[in-house]
Amino acid sequence: MTISDEMIQRGIELLTELGIALLTAAVILVLGRWIVKGVTRLVRRALQRYEVDVTLERFVCSLIYAILLTIVVIAAINQLGVQTTSLVAVVGAAGLAVGLALQGSLANFAAGVLIVLFRPYQAGDMIEAGGESGVVQEVQIFTTILNTLDNKRVVIPNSQVMAGCITNYTANKLRRVDLTAGVSYEDDLDKVKAVLQDVIAADERVVDDPEPTVAVFEMADSSVNFVVRPWVKSEEYWDVYFDLTEAIKKRFDKEGISIPFPQRDVHLYQQGGPSS
């Protein structure tokens, strides 16, 4: 066999080995990804069986999927003859550099862990955080996804959420509706109070405990203001708010109770004409 024949034979052997390595790596990637999805699915079902919070369930599944998929990729690279030990060292050094460059992302990840651990909110809660308000759809590793009341999707970095105040409107079962009703100084206050109490009592969504509050709040410039503060279920807050506002106006009209508006008296003084 000549030298050229040996080189061709060696080239064929190398190509064969490379082809087998590439095929094996591809199989590992495809099969490994399928297995990772299966494991993630099993973990999700297990968490659902034990009725784990949806927020924690999604966060844990996302984290497990990312870790296992990274292992699969490293295993596939190892089949190509790349020394994974050296690769891990290189990745570690690169990870340090990337980590310094992506401090914000790491802060978002840390904030996501804190959100899952301390659970200031969960999927389905109506919250105000990071300058936005809406219903929590999902808490991911780096972000929290909200749907606003006008059905816009807002993605907020977790670090931004944890850096400020978080208001959870639906964490408690009951919520107080705060209304103000102004009446004229000429109206009978006892009658107004009785009418307001009757309007509240007519709404079956208002709970008896805590007891609703109807009281004179202030004597303003143009009106005597009553506070109307019934308690309702958190999910019924806005429905009751709107319905009671309408019901109070209609009842005041029926009872002849006036709702004053700001008025201002203007006095005109006529000055004397020019001297003759």
Q: Give the DSSP per-residue string, the chain.
A: --HHHHHHHHHHHHHHHHHHHHHHHHHHHHHHHHHHHHHHHHHHHHHHHTT--HHHHHHHHHHHHHHHHHHHHHHHHHHTT--HHHHHHHHHHHHHHHHHHTHHHHHHHHHHHHHHHH-S--TT-EEEETTEEEEEEEE-SSEEEEE-TTS-EEEEEHHHHHHS--EESSSSSEEE--EEEEE-TTS-HHHHHHHHHHHHHH-TTS-SSSPPEEEEEEE-SS-EEEEEE-EEEGGGHHHHHHHHHHHHHHHHHHHT-------------PPP----
Q: What is the pLDDT of residue 264?
A: 67
Q: Would you give the distance in Å from CA 250 to the centre of its chain?
A: 37
- Cis preceding linkage at 260, omega within 30: no
276 residues of the chain, pLDDT tens digit each: 555 666 777 777 777 777 777 888 888 888 888 998 888 888 888 878 877 667 677 777 887 888 888 888 888 877 776 665 655 666 666 655 555 455 667 788 888 888 888 889 988 899 999 999 999 998 887 889 999 989 999 999 999 999 999 999 999 999 999 999 999 999 999 999 999 999 999 999 999 999 999 999 999 888 999 999 999 999 999 999 999 999 999 999 999 999 887 666 677 777 765 554
For the full predicted model, state whether its pTM sits above 0.75.
no
Predicted pLDDT of residue 86: 59
Rounded CA-CA distance 251/65 in Å is 59
Question: What tokens were used for 132?
Answer: 């936005």
List the Cα angle 40/140/59 in 5-degree steps.
40
Q: What is the pLDDT of residue 3?
A: 57
- 136 closest CA partner among 235, 55, 237, 233: 55
β-strands 224-229, 231-233 pairing: unpaired
Rounded Cα distance, 5 and 24, in Å: 28
What domains can you pick out in the chain, each with its CATH number? 11-101 (1.10.287.1260), 121-168 (2.30.30.60), 174-255 (3.30.70.100)
Position 72 scores a pLDDT of 85
Nearest to 141 by CA among 71, 64, 73, 70: 64
Among residues 59, 161, 165, 42, the alpha carbon closest in space to that of 117 is found at: 59
pLDDT for residue 61: 82
Residue at token pair 């007891």: 211
pLDDT at residue 53 in the model = 66
- Exposed/middle/buried for residue 162 (C-beta within 10 Å: 0-12, 13-18, 19+): buried
Nearest-angstrom CA–CA distance, 161 and 115: 9
State the pLDDT at residue 119.
85
Token readout for 42 is: 């099993």
Residue 276 has what pLDDT?
Answer: 46
pLDDT at 272: 62
CA 60 to CA 137: how far, in whole Å? 16
